[in-house]
Amino acid sequence: MTFRLIFMGTPDFSVPTLRAVAAAGHEIAAVYTQPPRAAGRRGLELTKSPVHRAAEELGVEVRTPDTLRDKDEQRAFVDLGADVAVVVAYGQILPRAILDGTRLGCFNGHASALPRWRGAAPIQRAIMAGASETAMMVMKMEAGLDTGPVALQRRVPIGPDMTAGELHDVLAAEGAELMVAGLAQLEAGTLTLTPQPEEGVTYARKIDKTETRIDWARPATEVHNHIRGLSPLPGAWCEMPIGGKHERVKVLRSTLAQGHGLSGQVLDAGLRVACGEGAVRLVELQRAGGKPMPAEAFLRGVDVGEGGEIT
């Protein structure tokens, strides 16, 4: 037995789960995703979401409503006659009519150990907070923000130098397997729902561009976590003295290092930089309009002298 289901998702993170539920033999009645957005260098080209493109490859109907609060859209959703909806990073708050619009409800794949890091940016916030572990979870959705009961979870370690991009890929793959397992248990009538504890709730607010600049006055561990938590996107950045002027540079990888000095001071020719406490070594960087490159390659075209200051 398989389900007739609706899939709701938008970014790359959602695609493995879409492909997995299709491969498991479930009938996908429709895929809901965010509408095409302006992209390209000039922002003139409308670009379909990764889920939109994957759904077209699978030959599945794609729907891109601007909102699900419209009554006609809600009726169209219900009229699909789906057993269940699978939601992974869709990008819209689901109104009650949608939550109740399938026979068995909506099940969400969420990338944190709930109730910790509810909200928009759980992967980045976990790393920025210095967590050594997170989880991928399947939960049944309700009206609150990521407050529903948990069906399944899988713990995932976070390595000391792991970036948000690397953790994203691990969790996306784990989430696909977990959702297929959850649907199988739901079909068999063996899926258990456990309410989230009331203690330990934290919120993973959306990353704001105002918090992406590196503050070298912070301890090295915090600077390191900030860099890897924002890598590759949107990317933590600083300004370096290049060619007689300060140029904005993204730092995509770092590692903790020994040393001390004034905050932002370059301690050696290998881009070891002093923080408020301790130091970090910059491992991968990206100039504006350029490609990411290892520090060694970056330094072949840039003279950031020992004793100089990065701001």
Q: How many C-beta neighbours within 10 Å does residue 71 have?
A: 8
Q: How many C-beta neighbours within 10 Å does residue 223 have?
A: 27
Q: What angle do helix axes 50-58 and 15-23 make, rounded to 10 degrees?
A: 20
Going through 184-311 in order, the beta strands assigned E by DSSP cover: 203-204, 236-242, 245-257, 272-274, 279-287, 293-294
65, 112, 284, 160: CA torsion to nearest 10 = 180
C-alpha closest to that of 92 among 151, 145, 19, 28 = 145
Structure tokens given for 72: 């006609």
User: Is position 113 annotated in a ligand binding site?
Assistant: yes
Q: d(Cα 257, Cα 237) in Å, to the nearest integer?
A: 19
Q: d(Cα 185, Cα 229) in Å, to the nearest integer?
A: 34
User: Is position 279 annotated in a ligand binding site?
Assistant: no
* DSSP code, position 150: E
Provide CB contacts within 8 A for 258, sequence distance 6+. Answer: 278, 279
Q: d(Cα 91, Cα 179) in Å, to the nearest integer?
A: 18
Structure tokens given for 298: 């970056």
User: Is position 115 annotated in a ligand binding site?
Assistant: yes
User: Is position 285 annotated in a ligand binding site?
Assistant: no
> Residue 210: helix, strand or coil by DSSP?
helix
Please give the annotated binding residues for (6S)-5,6,7,8-tetrahydrofolate, written as ranges. 112-115
